[in-house]
Structure formats: structure tokens, C-alpha cells
Chain A
Amino acid sequence: MNSTFRLLAHPAPRLNWTILCAPVACSASRFRDFEADDIARALICGLKLLRDGIGENDFNVIFTAGPKVRHFYFQIIPRGGTEYRANMEGGFELSTGISVITVDPRAAAEALRARSKVGPSPPREENRRKHVCLFCSRKTPSSLFFVRSDGSIYVPQESQSFEAAAHFWRNCDSTKITANYDLVRDLAKFNQSPPSEPDDAVRCFANLTPALVFDGDENTVLLSLAKPQEYGVELPDLQLKEVACFVRAFQFLEQAAEHRNLTLVAFFNSGPSAAGSVLCPHGQCWFLRDPPTTLVQIPEGQPNRECCAVCDMLKEEELVII
């Protein structure tokens, strides 16, 4: 992998086999503090380990990053129903709020450590189903920005699609979802504007049907590959450069959030058991006004770096995978 990051078995996860990935150095809390390639390499390594080690296909990747975070890290949380199935929340867990796991994190670390010495398996052909993805084939308006394969950001100037949407709603009831589908069809003529460039790697666009709706700048965006994938491809099988372009997009969105005094919540949902809406790899971000407690680890005015739970975990050799 690389020497910047360590992969650990989470010492007390909500779900079995959760991997926690953190940089060794306790001096960085934002996406922008790292090289995109370093985060991408660690992410691919963790995903391949879970897939090869326990046959896991569905997972959430959640990032703990931001100005009030003490030590950047992310978790890869298996969600599928493999033979090693993720533990389910039953009456006890719901009554008490206490997680019950069935795999000792130290045993998980040992098993994944052993798997890491074998080397990754090739992509699984049975998952390469033919499909048309709404996201990567650009069937959703409008592109907010592109990450090019060299990591640069391109924000289009196009505004006709927004003007067309405003015009459309003058004669339609915006509370009807069917009207929204008509709008999406109506805007299709703008979907290839600007035309795709050969070096476009990742596309960012607004989530057209957000679960949560807020006033002001609070909103949600999606990230997908910028080129149509005729066959399904899994996130761990993307090239390092492609995953790094997703990370680059998170870096851009993080700066955009801080520019408006908002908190960025970044994650990947992959597979139906993990609330993934399409087969193709896609990331998602929320801009929130009030930071969730999970992203506030440093009390105001008390940057106490003497005590860091992530650093303590990194010292637990039995939990270290790589």
C-alpha cells in the first residue's frame, strides 16, 4: 500500500468486519491535507481486502474529515449478506443502543492480514452485467464540474439548462414528481453540454431527488465516472487515477463547503444493501449548516492534540491489517 496510511480492524464496530483507515501522522484532518493518490490507494486496498477476504460486495465508505476533526480517517463498512453476513440489529440492539458483533476485531484483523499476503484477486466477471447507468451516461442534468485525469477541475459556464428549467416550471406543478420526470426529459438536450472531453474522469451533478430538502446552501451532490460504462464496474476495480479523481472531487467540495461556512459530509454507497442507487461507482456529498457531532471532535478553542483516540488505535498491533 503506502506508508502514509494504516488499515485497522475497527476495535468496536457497529457491523462485523468494519475496516478503519487512518494516516499515521496526527497532523491532518482535511481531504486537502493529503495527496489524492494516497487516500485512493488506501481505499482500493481496503475494498479489495474485504471483497477477497469475506466476499463482500456491498459497502458504505464514510469519511471523518473537516476543520473540527482531530485526525482524518475513513471506515469501510460491509453491508451485504455474505456467508460472513453483517450482524443485524435486533431487539436487544434497538432496545439498548448497544452493538452486538459476532466477529472479534482481532480475529478479523488476523484474517485480513493473512489475505493481504496473498494479493488481490482479479475483477469478478459475474458482476460485469450490461447496463445503462443514468449517472455515468450523463442522463441527468446539469454537470456542476468535472475532474480531469490530471486532477484539475473544470467548472462549465453553461447556463441554458438552468434557464430552461426555470421556464419549464412556469406552467407546471412543481410538487408533482411526474412533472419532474418530464423536466428531466425536457432538459436532455443540454446533457451533453459541455461536450465530454477525452480526459474527463469524474462528473459532479446535483442529486435531482434529494431525500432531505433544506433552505439556502444546504444541498447534496453526486459524483460519477464521466464516461459511460457499458458493463458494471466495481469501485475497487477502478484504476488508481480514477479513484484519485473521486478524492480530488471531495477535496474541491470540501473547499467549497468551507468557503460558505458549511460542513461537508462525504461517502460512497455501493450496492443495494448499502443504499447505492445505481450499479456504477458513485460518491455523494452533503453540505450541512450544523456540523453533525461525528465531525466535531475538537471543542471550540481547545485544540488538544495530546489525546487522540485514532492514534491510540494505531498503536494496537493486533488490530493492524496493513
Chain B
Amino acid sequence: MKQLFDTNNIDLFWYRLNASKRQQFRPSETRVLRNPLNGEIALLAGGRELRHREVKEASR
């Protein structure tokens, strides 16, 4: 597969994205829930739920 973009730029992008984690709201890891009835998975977005709750509390 041809490399369309300079790999130095790709490396710099990854450095910046991983550094951006310090700016993200990441209170908890996402949990993977598996439905025992059919094997399908659901992702529990703990951070998002917490965000909604705290925003509601903060706005009272």
C-alpha cells in the first residue's frame, strides 16, 4: 500500500492525539457487556452517563 502522507507527520499526529488525552473527559473506561441470550455486545459509556448526571447537578 503506498504511503500517501509523510510518516513523520503521521508520527507527530499520534503524539498529539495521545497528548490530547489529558484534555479529554475520561472518568472511566468503557465496559463491554455481552448479551448472554444472543452473544451481541453493548458498550457501556460510563463517562457519558456521568457527564450527563454531573451537568444536571451542576446546573441546579
Let me know if B1 and A210 touch, CB within 8 A. Answer: no
A96 CB within 8 Å of chain B = no
Let me know if A180 and B25 touch, CB within 8 A. Answer: yes
Let me know if B17 and A212 touch, CB within 8 A. Answer: no
| Complex: A178 Cα to B16 Cα, angstroms | 24
Assign chain A's interface to a size class.
Answer: 35 or more
| Complex: A73 Cα to B30 Cα, angstroms | 29
Contact of B10 among A166, A175, A211, A255 (CB under 8 A): A255
Chain A residues near B28 (CB-CB < 8 A):
175, 213
| Complex: A217 Cα to B17 Cα, angstroms | 8
Let me know if B5 and A209 touch, CB within 8 A. Answer: no
| Complex: A178 Cα to B1 Cα, angstroms | 45
From A121-129, A154-162, A192-200, A274-282, the one touching the partner chain is: A154-162
Let me know if B16 and A177 touch, CB within 8 A. Answer: no
- Please, which residue of chain B has its CB at the minimum distance from the CB of A218? B30
Chain B residues near A258 (CB-CB < 8 A):
1
Let me know if A155 and B51 touch, CB within 8 A. Answer: no
Let me know if A219 and B17 touch, CB within 8 A. Answer: yes
Chain A residues near B22 (CB-CB < 8 A):
162, 165-166, 169
The count of chain B contact residues (Cβ–Cβ below 8 Å) is 38
Q: How far is the CB of B29 from chain A (nearest CB, A)?
A: 6
Q: How far is the CB of B6 from chain A (nearest CB, A)?
A: 8
Chain B residues near A259 (CB-CB < 8 A):
7, 10-11, 14
A239 CB within 8 Å of chain B = no
Let me know if A212 and B45 touch, CB within 8 A. Answer: yes
Q: A251-B4, A255-B4 are in contact. Are A210 and B26 (CB under 8 A)?
A: yes
Chain A residues near B20 (CB-CB < 8 A):
141-142, 144, 162, 205-206, 219
| Complex: A214 Cα to B43 Cα, angstroms | 11
B2 CB within 8 Å of chain A = yes
| Complex: A141 Cα to B20 Cα, angstroms | 8
| Complex: A247 Cα to B22 Cα, angstroms | 28
Chain B contact surface mostly: helix
Chain B residues near A174 (CB-CB < 8 A):
26-27
Q: A211-B45, A252-B5 are in contact. Are A206 and B23 (CB under 8 A)?
A: yes
A111 CB within 8 Å of chain B = no
Q: Mark B42-54, 1 if CB is under 8 A from A, else 0.
A: 0101111011001
A176 CB within 8 Å of chain B = yes
Let me know if B13 and A145 touch, CB within 8 A. Answer: yes
Known: A205-B20, A214-B30, A259-B7. 12 other contacts (CB 8 A): A32-B2, A32-B4, A157-B12, A174-B26, A206-B23, A208-B23, A209-B47, A210-B47, A211-B47, A211-B48, A215-B29, A256-B10
Residues of A whose CB lies within 8 Å of any CB of B are 30, 32, 67, 141-142, 144-145, 153, 155-157, 159, 161-162, 165-166, 169, 174-178, 180, 183-184, 187, 205-215, 217, 219, 221, 251-252, 255-256, 258-260
- Cross-chain pairs A/B with CB under 8 angstroms, 21 sampled: A144-B13, A153-B5, A153-B9, A155-B9, A162-B16, A178-B54, A180-B25, A206-B17, A206-B20, A208-B24, A209-B48, A210-B26, A212-B43, A213-B27, A213-B29, A217-B18, A221-B17, A251-B4, A258-B1, A259-B14, A260-B14
Residues of B whose CB lies within 8 Å of any CB of A are 1-7, 9-14, 16-30, 43, 45-48, 50-51, 54-55, 58
